[in-house]
């Protein structure tokens, strides 16, 4: 395998990861829009779009996408119940995304098993606190692209 092949495998893996990340961001944005609309949070469409864009930042973007709707609910109603409902919505979206959407989309697009996309960020987050969590999704995509390439070479047999 020469350098050109390495660039090709890595580039394809990162492209698949970006497409998967875009699909995940779109799904999270739709969940936010539905939830914020049902809670009557002002500027629901804006907050949902912002949450979708921020979802591109692995693991940190979801937290940043929650701040605006909580502040909007607090300022709009002036009570503690409406911001609490938004925080509950955030928790539900994070659980749906983390345990179902991301693993499913990564498995479909980047061929990363669901168990790996759930546990690898946790393990790398312990080993390398900030960077491990941030870099685990694209690294997983690259790792499994090389694994698929190796399996393909093994099944194809030696070149004559």
Interval 92-136: pLDDT, tens: 999 999 889 988 888 888 788 888 888 898 899 999 988 888 888
With 60 as the cut, is the pLDDT of residue 160 above it? no
Note if the pTM is more than 0.75: yes
With 70 as the cut, is the pLDDT of residue 159 above it? no
105 class by beta-carbon count within 10 Å (0-12 exposed, 13-18 middle, 19+ buried): buried
Q: In percent, how much of the chain has pLDDT > 70?
A: 98
With 80 as the cut, is the pLDDT of residue 65 above it? yes
Cα(74)–Cα(141) distance, rounded to whole angstroms?
Answer: 39
DSSP string, 68-93: HHHHHHHHHH-SSHHHHHHHHHHHHH
pLDDT digit string, tens, across residues 133-155: 888 888 999 999 999 989 888 88
Contact (CB, 8 A) for 79 and 90: no
- CB contact set of 76 (below 8 Å; sequence gap of 6+): 41, 42, 82
């Amino acid at each position: 395998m020469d350098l050109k092949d390495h660039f090709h495998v890595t580039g394809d893996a990162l492209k698949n990861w970006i497409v998967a990340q875009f699909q995940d961001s779109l799904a999270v944005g739709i969940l936010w829009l539905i939830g914020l609309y049902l809670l009557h949070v002002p500027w629901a469409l804006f907050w949902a779009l912002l949450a979708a864009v921020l979802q591109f930042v692995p693991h940190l973007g979801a937290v940043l996408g929650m701040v605006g709707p909580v502040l909007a609910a607090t300022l709009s109603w002036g009570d503690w119940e409406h911001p609490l409902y938004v925080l509950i919505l955030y928790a539900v979206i994070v659980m749906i995304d983390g345990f179902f959407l991301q693993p499913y989309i990564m498995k479909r697009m980047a061929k990363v098993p669901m168990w790996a996309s759930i546990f690898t960020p946790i393990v790398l987050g312990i080993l390398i606190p900030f960077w491990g969590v941030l870099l685990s999704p694209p690294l997983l995509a690259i790792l499994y692209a090389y694994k698929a390439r190796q399996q393909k070479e093994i099944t194809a047999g030696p070149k004559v």
